[in-house]
Structure 1
Amino acid sequence: MLTFEEKLAIIESFPELERKDVSLGRVNFHYNESSYDNKNVVYHLHPNGNGFVYAGKMTGYSTNDKGMVNIRDFTEKALRATIRKSILSLTPKEEVTDEPLEETWINENTVTLTILKEEDMWNVYADDDSLDGTFTTYREAANYLEAEGFERI
């Protein structure tokens, strides 16, 4: 079993983690770039060597009800790998989307409408540039147009 000091040295080797001292000599390490509410990667690392690493978004770990895996008996290799996976599981994913920024739709009467992404909203405009509707997602705007009998050009 690794000592508290050895575990601490391993955890502190991850520059993306921020140390937070808590009660009873325990230490937490936060990942402030987390794309989720949870920022704790290491929770309650105790001077007796006990502690937890967040594994709630990972497979292959037996976790408690908070998604934490106990690291008391972890080897250096297992601890490093688990912390790295934990950080990656909390890292914001680059948005990969095939949604267009602008798209024209037409109905059977040759009326055209345009979906246009503006800031965080999707607006639908008529030919005369008048606003026909505002939606929070592309899918909502497209569903609206499909329900109204429009098709993508």
Structure 2
Amino acid sequence: MLTFNEKLAIIEAFDELERKNVSLGRVNFQFQNSISDKKNIVYHLHPNGNGFVYAGHLASYDSDEKGMVNIRDFSADQLHQLLNEAIRALSPIEKTAAEEVIVGDSDKERWVDGENNLLILVNENEAWNIYFGLNLDASFDTYEEAEGFLREEGFTRR
């Protein structure tokens, strides 16, 4: 288990997080650019090493009803990865030129995997099409089929 100071050093390496000291020596870290009401990414990091990270938008973590993941027994790599994913999930989305060309005014969703690959799911002409850049990657008759495919391939909705 990492110590409080080791976890603190990892978290403080993320420039986009702002430290907020709270009671009993605990520390919160806020992400001011969050697209969600959730600003606290790290919640109640305690001097005993316990603490929580908000992962409510991440399907790959076992979170509580508030979307929090206990980081008490996380390794340095695990904590770093969780923070990267949590920040990315709460970051504003900028539309790429390719996305603008493909999507236009159609209904769409963005899906990303652990390597930050982006796929766009678009509802067009009564089909659900998955694009990688400008390339059509797959096409499905129903949303459920497309969603199942994306989840099997390790993608989560963003």
The TM-score by the shorter chain falls in which range? 0.5 to 0.7
In the alignment, which residue of structure 2 is the partner of 1:20?
A: 20
The AA in structure 2 aligned to 1:76 is A
Q: TM-score, normalised by structure 1?
A: 0.63
What whole-Å deviation, never above 9, does each CA across 1:38-83 have from its counterpart, x for those lacking one?
1111000000000001110001111111100000000000000000
CA distance in 2, matches of 1:8, 1:51: 11
In the alignment, which residue of structure 1 is the partner of 2:83?
A: 83
Q: How does 1:29-40 map to 2 (within 5 A)?
A: 29-40=29-40
In the alignment, which residue of structure 1 is the partner of 2:54?
A: 54
Pair 1:5-2:13 in alignment: no
Q: How does 1:1-150 map to 2 (within 5 A)?
A: 1-95=1-95, 97=100, 98-99=104-105
Q: Matched residue pairs, number?
A: 99
SS in 2 for 1:87: helix
CA distance in 1, matches of 2:89, 2:33: 11
SS in 1 for 2:53: strand
The AA in structure 1 aligned to 2:15 is P
Computed over aligned residues only, the root mean square deviation of the Cα atoms, in angstroms, reads: 1.0
CA distance in 2, matches of 1:66, 1:6: 25
The AA in structure 2 aligned to 1:22 is V
The AA in structure 2 aligned to 1:82 is L
Larger Rg: 1
SS in 2 for 1:30: strand
CA distance in 2, matches of 1:55, 1:18: 17
Percent identical among aligned pairs is: 60
Q: TM-score, normalised by structure 2?
A: 0.61
The AA in structure 2 aligned to 1:83 is L
SS in 2 for 1:35: coil
Give 1:3 shift: 0.1
Structure 2: state its 5+ residue gaps.
Answer: 106-158
Structure 1: state its 5+ residue gaps.
Answer: 100-153
